[in-house]
Amino acid sequence: MSQNLTLRRPDDWHLHLRDGAMLQAVLPETTRHFARAIIMPNLVPPVVTGAQAAAYRDRILAVLPDGADFTPLMTLYLTEDTDPDDVAAAHASGLVSAVKLYPAGATTNSASGVANFDKVRGVLERMAQIGLPLCLHGEVTDPAIDIFDREAVFIDRVLDPIRRATPGLRTVMEHITTRDGVDYALSQENLGATITTHHLIINRNHILVGGIKPHYYCLPVAKREDHRLALRAAATSGDPRFFLGTDSAPHTDALKENACGCAGCFTATNTLSILAHVFEEEGALDRLEAFTSLNGPAFYGLPVNDGTITLSRGDTVTYPEKIDTEDGPVTVFDPGFPLTWSVTA
Ligand code: DOR
Ligand code: ZN
């Protein structure tokens, strides 16, 4: 039976585009369907200053596919030396939409992130004053904390203290992976939480059972099934605190299928097909638009997009297994089941 679903054009509130040849290769995978995306600043070197964000935005715009209608929403990478005045100027000019906090050492290219949270208090207070959101990678890096517990411990040790110390700071818990994250988000105001496509599909068994599956390895790492179910319930609830941030994170196969493989799932290509499948399974197709197209703009204080896209359900759709880049192939996330929804208009 064919079925159509028309949504406001979606946005991706957490995206890695990288730079150079990789940027050029992966950008069309996002601009094909998405109108805007929050662009992560974890390049080497990171995008720390307003000037660096402006230059990175120009590099993205320079390789937009012909006819693409896409706005990159830039972010700054928070360091212990970040200058509050530079942040405020970048915000006032409309250049940046958020600042990203990586705990030092938590994930890909996070070495310049924050180790001592007291050192960024001044920047965070300024951000609260001017209404600039803080996006957080929510994992502690304490080697004594089990990797599967790092999100829950981050909420207690870092996130909640920051929020109490900085009233009014708008915060986004990026890529939540636990029931703890969902529960914390539901207990708060002025807080958003992005949920990735892949964390709605995989639990930790997918990574480890029957042989190690490097293309399912990401950070925060997928947790046990109960947490995945909590994420699905949150994403499909329609609650305005939850919105899509794919965290689509391209790494070449050589870097994924490696003795020390990189973290990241590349989902830009098939995200909307997968999400329609998930929302249909949950009996929530009528709430897909809230998750992909309405809740994010509301949190960021932006208008919803003018245009629409239409998803249709029909025969099985196939996507390329890999995207070719000058640096080597990038494997597209495999949800592990056939997809029948596709973007048709
Ligand atoms: O899986 C991930 N990949 N998680 C992150 O936090 C970073 C990202 C990347 O940049 O590759
Ligand atoms: Zn990310």
Q: Express each pLDDT in 118-129 by its tens digit.
A: 999 999 999 999
Sheet of 36-39: strand order equals 11-15, 36-39, 71-77, 96-101, 134-136, 171-173, 191-195, 242-244
If one counts every other C-beta atom within 10 angstroms of the C-beta of residue 278, the result is: 22
Q: Express each pLDDT in 168-205 by its tens digit.
A: 999 999 999 999 999 999 999 999 999 999 999 999 99
Cα-to-centroid distance, 108 and ligand 2 (Å):
8
Q: Express each pLDDT in 200-229 by its tens digit.
A: 999 999 999 999 999 999 999 999 999 999
Mean pLDDT, rounded, for 44-69: 97
- Tell me the domains of the chain and their CATH numbers: 3-343 (3.20.20.140)
Cα-to-centroid distance, 107 and ligand 1 (Å):
6
Mean pLDDT, rounded, for 238-265: 98
Ligand 1 pocket residue status of 201, Cβ below 6 Å: no
Do 121 and 167 touch, CB atoms closer than 8 A?
A: no
Cα→Cα distances 112→45, 86, 252, 264, Å = 9, 17, 23, 19
Q: pLDDT tier at 2 (50, 70, 90 boundaries)?
A: low
Question: Average per-residue pLDDT in the chain?
Answer: 97
Q: pLDDT tier at 106 (50, 70, 90 boundaries)?
A: confident
Atom of ligand 1 nearest to the CA of 106: 6
Ligand 1 pocket residue status of 38, Cβ below 6 Å: no
Ligand 1 pocket residue status of 256, Cβ below 6 Å: no
pLDDT above 80 (res 296): yes
